[in-house]
Structure 1
Amino acid sequence: MSIAYDIRREVERNVVRARNGIKYASGTEWAPEHASPRELVWSQGKARLWRLRSDRVTMGPPVLMFIGLVSLPHILDLHEKSTLAGALRDAGFDVYILDWGAADEGDAQNTLETYLVRYLPRAVRALLRESQCDDVTLLGYCMGGCFALVAVGGQVSIPLRNLVIFATPVDFSQMGGLVEALRDGEIDPESMVDWTGNVPPHIVSSFFRIRKPTVELVQYANLWENLWSDEFLSSYQAMARWASTHVPVPGALFRQVLKGWLYDNGFANGTLRLAGRRVDLANIDVPMLSVVAMRDDIVPPPAALPLGSLVDVPEFELFEVPAGHAGLAGSRKAVHVTFPGVVDWLRRHSDTREPHQ
């Protein structure tokens, strides 16, 4: 290519950068909030159960996906070209997403029991009625994976076929950052709770900034470099929306998690309790897939990798992906490595069913 061509191309891109920059700053939407069409099938409190629309369900049981309480579950259905939920749907699975909602003052006393003993089993029952199936595969992402382990290990009534967890810490002594500061008493946890009785979103966001303080500068540099590309803007906006949309965490649950998960390192030490009952990971008796991001700076691999030694399941498979925390489900690596690997594992642990809508 000639120098003149390169100059002309860059001038044209700068014109588009200026146009798109104005649009982006003014709030133009390049990416919808959810990549896949869906419908509401159940709700209670602020919890919502969504079913992805599908023209052809050929695999069972259905898959119920959820994350934790620090953000909304956009990462599960991020972008039309990078959607974990969509990949499972396209593989023939009946896919549901459980959104716990955003806590407010009225939810400050919510505990793990609120979400795992009350909401989760009721959402599962609604799913089974809707799908006309007898069991379910649970898929938990990050804190959602911890939720799944606590629920199943605590013998919450769920007819479970498989358990899949993504980027899920079980040894909190390896977490570092703000988690380490809290555990070591360098930060007063009560100072993190606001007048509503909850941990506000800006405190949640600070955890991620502390772990990777230059990430916003890198993101803006990438944004400027690719501002000429509508396709890039669409995927960038989808990821930025998820990364910046944190929600309040109920104060009672925060204190519960702080003591049981962080201070006592309860997953690793076997000291967790739910509704007065010991959480025993040995109670998990279904095939399990643990997906670990080997470049994760939010849940470092040493925090996630010990799970295999803590469970005694009929089949445990560790899937190591060379990606970061968000990239595990929101990147080209996710599309080409994570999604096919998870789909393959689920197909091997599911049934072929007569196609239905």
Structure 2
Amino acid sequence: MSEPLELLDPEAIAKQVRLEVDRALKRNIKGLDFLVAERAEVGHMPKDALYRDGTAVLYRYRPLHGEIYRIPLLVVSPPSNRGYIFDLAKGQSFFEYLLQQGYDVYNLDWNPPRRDERGLGFDDYVGRFIPAALKEIEARTGEREISLAGYCAGGTLVTIYAAIEAREHLRNLITLATPIDFSHMHLFQTWADKRYFDVDLLVRELELIPPEIMLGAFDLARPANRTAGRVNLWTNMWNDEFVKSYRMFDRWAAETLPIPGHYFGQLVKDLMWENALTNGTLEVCGKTADLGRVTASILNIVAKHDHVVSHEATTPLMTMTSSTDREELVSKGGHVSLVAGPSAVRRLWPHIDEWLGRRST
């Protein structure tokens, strides 16, 4: 229960009033600046493009130390999103943190597909782009062993790769908010209900699936999320650090990429409708993806408040693989803040370093 007004320190009251007035003035002044500001700068750490093949581009982030861990790390981005979510800004960059700890970091990222790339599918992402990236890394480092990591659909792709290749030199597999059992992707099951969702018509007519299609599905989960986000922005407009972070995340969401129609059709029909990866019926490059073939050490990272990928959707990594070294980590945060939020900076990244460092020598 709050104290009666007459019992409060007048100086404390005056200080609080001055604070609120100051924030109100800053909101209005900075609100105008926000409206006319250029796009937020993103991408902090220097990097070099090593390989390009259509929509795929492989980057190496320049090491910060002369001595680095022996086993390189390749992080695969979701095909619908830019990889700079891992490198937003100084102090908010997962890759900066990894480089500071001495890892050799690579990122398989994506450019918007051209219309003539509408036929790209799992055979290309899993059987062409990932192997080509690994071949380039091996040629440059001389190391056959590799650590693979992936976020969201990027994690699904690296898991499929591990499930068809059974490569002994796949040392570690790190998955972040990664769907495997699509029967537990409840929002998307409803959104893509096969009784009403004519995916073939969509693919045939559009060829490249625009980002608005995917973003619309996310909005179904939290219809008021964008409005609430803008209200929260206005409330914190006086806070430069909050506004800076908001603008970077906002840019990343706004730059969601279109995806090839064939790939989208496989996501819906093979994974969403047939749950083929979990059921053991998914075929990629003429091979059946078998989760039991995965023997690498696994770190499965789940977001506690993820409204996109449920905890249950990730569990086959812990129950159906043949790895004898499996760890699951449930971290605070949501689907995006898992990889770039304050909780990730303080808690998750050090845990990843502790886990991966022991397995990278």
After superposition, where does 1:93-132 map in structure 2 within 5 Å? Answer: 93-132=103-142
Q: Does the aligned pair in 1 maintain the 2:94–2:339 contact within 8 Å?
A: yes
Corresponding residue for 1:166? Answer: 176
Match of 1:134 among 110, 129, 144: 144
Matched, 1:259 2:239: no
Q: Does the aligned pair in 2 maintain the 1:290–1:318 contact within 8 Å?
A: yes
Residue by residue over 1:235-275, the C-alpha shift from the partner in whole angstroms, topping out at 9 and shown as x without a partner, is 11111222232111111111122222111111221111101
Matched, 1:348 2:358: yes
Q: Does the aligned pair in 2 maintain the 1:171–1:302 contact within 8 Å?
A: yes
Q: Report deviation, 1:53.
A: 2.0
CA distance in 2, matches of 1:77, 1:256: 30
Give 5+ residue unaligned stretches, structure 2: 1-10
Q: Report deviation, 1:129.
A: 2.7
| Range with bigger deviation, 188-197 or 262-271 | 188-197
Match of 2:62 among 36, 39, 53: 53
CA distance in 1, matches of 2:313, 2:328: 14
SS in 2 for 1:134: coil
Residue by residue over 1:1-37, the C-alpha shift from the partner in whole angstroms, topping out at 9 and shown as x without a partner, is 53322222223223322232222212334x4221322
Q: Report deviation, 1:191.
A: 4.8
Match of 1:68 among 45, 60, 78: 78
SS in 2 for 1:168: coil
SS in 2 for 1:60: coil
Matched, 1:37 2:46: yes
CA distance in 2, matches of 1:194, 1:36: 40
Q: Report deviation, 1:131.
A: 3.2
Q: Report deviation, 1:140.
A: 0.5
> Structure 1 156/241 Cα, relative in aligned 2: closer, same or farther at 3 Å?
farther
Corresponding residue for 1:85? Answer: 95
| Range with bigger deviation, 145-154 or 5-14 | 5-14
SS in 2 for 1:42: strand
Match of 2:258 among 248, 258, 268: 248
> Structure 1 195/183 Cα, relative in aligned 2: closer, same or farther at 3 Å?
closer
Q: Report deviation, 1:89.
A: 1.3
Q: TM-score, normalised by structure 1?
A: 0.92
CA distance in 2, matches of 1:111, 1:98: 16
| Range with bigger deviation, 215-224 or 174-183 | 174-183
> Structure 1 158/315 Cα, relative in aligned 2: closer, same or farther at 3 Å?
closer
Q: Does the aligned pair in 1 maintain the 2:77–2:107 contact within 8 Å?
A: no
| Range with bigger deviation, 302-311 or 149-158 | 149-158
CA distance in 2, matches of 1:329, 1:217: 23
Corresponding residue for 1:307? Answer: 317
CA distance in 2, matches of 1:12, 1:4: 12
| Range with bigger deviation, 76-85 or 224-233 | 76-85
CA distance in 1, matches of 2:69, 2:216: 41
Query: RMSD of the TM alignment (CA)?
Result: 1.9
Matched, 1:297 2:286: no
CA distance in 1, matches of 2:48, 2:126: 23
CA distance in 1, matches of 2:64, 2:186: 45
Q: How many residues matched? A: 350
Matched, 1:177 2:187: yes
Corresponding residue for 1:316? Answer: 326
SS in 1 for 2:272: helix
CA distance in 1, matches of 2:15, 2:133: 58
Residue by residue over 1:45-78, the C-alpha shift from the partner in whole angstroms, topping out at 9 and shown as x without a partner, is 1211112122204223111111221221232223
Residue identity matched to 2:60: R
Residue identity matched to 1:340: P
Q: TM-score, normalised by structure 2?
A: 0.91
SS in 1 for 2:69: strand
CA distance in 2, matches of 1:181, 1:218: 23
SS in 2 for 1:59: coil
Q: Does the aligned pair in 2 maintain the 1:58–1:92 contact within 8 Å?
A: yes
Identical-pair percentage:
29
CA distance in 2, matches of 1:339, 1:349: 15
CA distance in 2, matches of 1:321, 1:157: 29
Q: Report deviation, 1:87.
A: 1.7
Q: Report deviation, 1:196.
A: 4.4
Match of 1:20 among 27, 30, 37: 30
Q: Does the aligned pair in 1 maintain the 2:64–2:99 contact within 8 Å?
A: no
| Range with bigger deviation, 46-55 or 179-188 | 179-188
Residue by residue over 1:192-241, the C-alpha shift from the partner in whole angstroms, topping out at 9 and shown as x without a partner, is 43744021111111011111111111211111111112211111111122
Moved over 4 A (4+): none
Q: Report deviation, 1:102.
A: 1.3
